[in-house]
Amino acid sequence: MAVIFHLAFPVEDLQQTREFYIDGLGCTPGRSSPQALILNLGGHQLVAHRSPIADPPQAGIYPRHFGLVFATYAEWDALRDRAVNRGLKFYQAPKQRFPGKPTEHYTFFLEDPSHNLLEFKHYVHGSAIFGETETAGVGDR
């Protein structure tokens, strides 16, 4: 059996969450209740929990965000196109980071209706996902 990542996160409104994640991103819905919704994001289990007190929006992409790393540029490009066509809110526009370096990748950030940030990326060199340890840079703070 493959290992599946699980992430629970707060949301303010489950209907807006459904619209963003299911209609917008294309997640498959799972079980739901008036307080929570299970989502399949790239084969991983997200659980959106309705929270009466939302976290305030971050001032930048750090320290908290989540998302997917795509194996191919075509997959990344297809989700980018879907996000544009569905009118999802880009927190950071699609861009190429660290061109010509071992950690070169394409990335964009979306913001869900509850101000959770999601990053979607594709590394030009797959070794950069967990490797390239001699490269000191992580992020671009």
Phi/psi region, residue 98 (left: phi>0; alpha: psi -120 to 50; beta: rest), is left
Distance CA 126, CA 102 (A): 9
Q: What confidence tens digit (pLDDT) does each residue in 56-114 have?
A: 778 888 888 999 999 999 999 999 999 999 999 999 999 999 999 999 999 999 999 99
Q: What confidence tens digit (pLDDT) does each residue in 20-55 have?
A: 999 999 999 999 999 999 999 999 999 999 997 666
